[in-house]
Amino acid sequence: MHPDNPANPHVAGSATPHVPQSTPPHNQTPQSRTGQWSSGQWSSGQWGSRLGRSGRSGLMPYDDPVRHPWEIPLLVVVVALTAILYMSALLALMLGAVSVWLLIILLAPIALAIARGQLYGSQQVNGIKMSPTQFPDGYRMVAEAAARFGMKTPPDAYVVLGNGHINAFASGHGLRRFVVVYSDMFEIGGQAREPDALSFIIGHEVGHIAAGHASYWRQLGQFAAQYIPVVGSALYRSMEYTADNHGYCVRPQGARGAMGVLGAGKYLVTVVGFDELADRATTERGFFPWFVNLLSSHPVLTWRAAALRNRTRHGSLFLKPSRIYRDPHYPAQIPAGRPWPG
């Protein structure tokens, strides 16, 4: 789940969808309840008292989601390095040097624009667009997330054939923004499985858009990130933590299922022990677990689970969590199927 770029294709709205304003009866299926607006029964004060306030940190469900604190500093470094790269390539070309690498660098703005347009066009002609009649639950989840983040218009949302793959991404073309969800993801949302996990994942992807990760200029400015192993991958990890903060604010009780899906797939999601997974962020020792995370574009699953469980601090980028943290209030105090707090 990552915004797209021409070398790493992981990452609009046209009309504001109508979203039901009332909470459906509790005798409906979990899938039909998920993604609905809050009825106001769970106020921010109630969530604060039940979950235990850690300050308005942007990490709790009642807060506005915030960026990971490392994201902007790393972005500044990467943008500066990208600018140096462009200027160096231009200077080299002016001095008569010609190579494939120089052309790749200098043509990157055009290549990026074409890649983004092609990706959007592919969804327009091959994807199934979510609507009130096609994948209505996903449609409501996208609208719910967009409203939670203060977006004036929800992004377009498409379902594409997954063929067993578990993935979703967000991207844009021009002023349009869109979310793509692989069809296998919707099997997670079935009545017998974890609809809240699907809502968290969609909130994560809409969060990428709300945080500006799908912007053309943002992606062009961080062009050099893919060629800087440690700094570039750290920037991508910080962006994923930022998107997780957004997903958590939409559907906190879906975080556990989402990690289970990423770890064991759509059929075994309910078998995964979330606490056992998160504990291993601290208990797994050695150089290579740390090294794998250092070079990864996404936080490794154990560290990511630990960050979603411990909402008193931001997720770890470079060093593994030093202690095992278990919130006594979570998740028992969060009723299944409830939307974000009103």
For residue 202, give every residue at least 6 positions away whose Cβ sits within 8 Å of its Cβ, in sequence order, or none.
138, 141, 142, 145, 157, 168, 179, 181, 247, 250
Question: What's the pLDDT at 57?
Answer: 64
Of 117-121, 165-169, 329-333, the one with minimum mean pLDDT is 329-333
Question: What's the pLDDT at 44?
Answer: 37
Q: What are the structural domain ranges in the chain?
A: 65-309
Q: Does the predicted TM-score (pTM) go above 0.85?
A: no
Question: What's the pLDDT at 46?
Answer: 36
Q: What is the pLDDT of residues 165-206, one digit of tens each?
A: 889 999 999 999 999 999 988 887 555 467 899 999 999 999
**Helix orientation angle between 229-250 and 136-148, rounded to the nearest 10 degrees:** 100
| Residue of higher predicted confidence among 270 and 86 | 86
Q: What is the pLDDT of residues 8-44, one digit of tens each?
A: 444 433 333 333 333 333 333 323 222 322 322 333 3
Nearest to 304 by CA among 338, 260, 264, 339: 260
Question: What's the pLDDT at 254?
Answer: 93
SS3 content of the chain, % helix, strand, coil (to 5): 50, 5, 45
For residue 29, give every residue at least 6 positions away whose Cβ sits within 8 Å of its Cβ, in sequence order, or none.
191
Is the pLDDT score of 125 beyond 70?
yes
Mean pLDDT of 89-118: 90
- Report for 11-25, 280-294, 322-336: range of highest mean pLDDT: 280-294
Bridge-partner residues for 157, per DSSP? 179
Percent of the chain residues past pLDDT 90, beyond the cut: 61
How many DSSP H helices and E strands does the chain contain?
A: 14, 4
Question: What's the pLDDT at 97?
Answer: 82
